[in-house]
Amino acid sequence: MSTSDHVRARGIALALAACLTAPRAAGAAGRLYQVREVKPRVFVWIPDDVLESEGDPQYPRAGTAGFIITPQGVVVVDTTNSPLHARELLYEIRQRTDQPIRYVIDTGASGDEVLGNEVFSDLQATLVSTSAIQAEIRDRAQALAERAVVDHKFERRLRGIHITAPSQTFDHELPLPLAGKEIRLIALDSGLRAASVYLPAAKVAFLGDLFQNQYFPRLESRDLSRWIEALRQAEAWEAEVYVPGHGEPAGKKEVEQFRAFLEWLTKEVRTRVAEGKSLAQVKAELLPFKDYPWHAPEQAVELVEGAYQQFDRVSRKNKPTSSN
């Protein structure tokens, strides 16, 4: 081999080594992510804002996830939107500890929170969430399986994904029996089908999709008033770091700003519904949200539509019926 060939080969080897040891990892679809230690042995996995062509098309963005290392094992919070990203999360855990994965906490039932569950179930971790979230995940699995039977393109998107529901549930609050770390699982409002993970000693709270940091949220079936009240409860905790369902970890100020956005949206849409305006009129008047240059702008349309339908139903229900 010539000297130039040796130099070229060595350059390729160094480039490969750099890729393998880089602190940011790329997924199969070119996704990059970062892992941040927000408090000692409390880590957050933060994906870039990328729309993916695999997995459930309703949830093309990977959600923020996290893990907590204790002397008795690891607690994972959410498993993002695919087994691929869950394995990236597992890789990052294994770079820091060889402790077993003891628990996985699903903070919600959305595809961007739970579609990586199977990776940790295979490791004999106990999957935990509320009974309402467990039921919704099971319903989602059945609905997606039925759709895949008749939609082969959709079936190909979901290939290799096995939706796995929690095996242990709670309804109000559950402390995890791990010495050295105080970990409380809290259902702020059972009607919202949302669980939070609060670490009082570390002053960290994982809020899942109840909080989005600089991302427009999905309303789905959430009641806006109850959502706002749940955020107020979480703001009262003595937490310094709040981990969102999407976006970077933040402080109490950012949670308050997100709640203020939901309050503003509630007021603007409810007022227009009371004035008898159509959905098309409300969308034309409110969109785009000029004061909120956030990620996931396409979800802003769905958010206004969902809020309109929510308040329109209430308005129709409360409207007095005419009598002859």
DSSP assignments along 12-50, one per residue = HHHHHHHHHH-SSEE-TTS-EEEEEEEETTEEEEEE---
- How is residue 119 written in tokens? 């990776």
Residue 209, pLDDT above cutoff 90: yes
Q: Give the CATH number for residue 100.
A: 3.60.15.10
pLDDT of res. 320? 67
Phi-psi sector, 276: left (phi>0), alpha (psi -120 to 50), beta: left
Span 34-73, pLDDT tens digits: 999 999 999 999 999 999 988 999 999 999 999 999 999 9
Could you tell me whether strands 101-105 and 73-77 are parallel, antiparallel, or unpaired per DSSP bridges? parallel
Q: Are 210 and 245 in contact (CB under 8 A)?
A: yes
Residue 19, pLDDT above cutoff 80: no
State the Cα–Cα distance between residues 158 and 162, nearest whole angstrom: 8
Q: Are 55 and 31 in contact (CB under 8 A)?
A: no
pLDDT of res. 255? 98
- Within a domain: 276: no
Span 225-273, pLDDT tens digits: 999 999 999 999 999 999 999 999 999 999 999 999 999 999 999 999 9
pLDDT of res. 192? 85
Report the pLDDT averaged over residues 202-213: 97
Q: Are 210 and 188 in contact (CB under 8 A)?
A: yes
pLDDT of res. 22? 39
Residue range of the domain that includes 234? 13-251
Q: Are 214 and 247 in contact (CB under 8 A)?
A: yes
Report the pLDDT averaged over residues 183-191: 89
- Within a domain: 114: yes
- Within a domain: 32: yes
pLDDT of res. 142? 95
Whole-model pTM: value is 0.88
- Within a domain: 270: no
pLDDT of res. 318? 79
State the Cα–Cα distance between residues 182 and 201, nearest whole angstrom: 7
- Non-local (6+) Cβ contacts of 5 within 8 A are none
pLDDT of res. 7? 37
Q: Tokens 């498993």, residue?
A: 79
Residue 206, pLDDT above cutoff 80: yes
Q: Are 63 and 97 in contact (CB under 8 A)?
A: no
pLDDT of res. 322? 55
- Within a domain: 215: yes
Span 78-131, pLDDT tens digits: 999 999 999 999 999 999 999 999 999 999 999 999 999 999 999 999 999 999
Give me the amino acid identity at 43: F
- Within a domain: 314: no
- Non-local (6+) Cβ contacts of 165 within 8 A are 117, 127, 134, 137, 138, 141
Average pLDDT taken over every residue of the chain: 89
Tell me which of 179-188, 196-205, 228-237, 270-279 is least confident: 179-188
C-alpha distances in Å from residue 60, one per residue of 126, 161, 191, 311: 26, 14, 25, 28
Backbone angles phi, psi at 46, to 5 degrees: -120, 110
Q: Tokens 């290799």, residue?
A: 160
Establish whether the linkage from the previous residue to 166 is cis, with ω within 30° of 0: no
pLDDT of res. 165? 97
Specify the higher pLDDT residue, 8 or 151.
151
- Within a domain: 47: yes
Give the total number of structural domains in the chain. Answer: 1
State the Cα–Cα distance between residues 312 and 233, nearest whole angstrom: 27
- Within a domain: 97: yes
Q: Are 134 and 165 in contact (CB under 8 A)?
A: yes
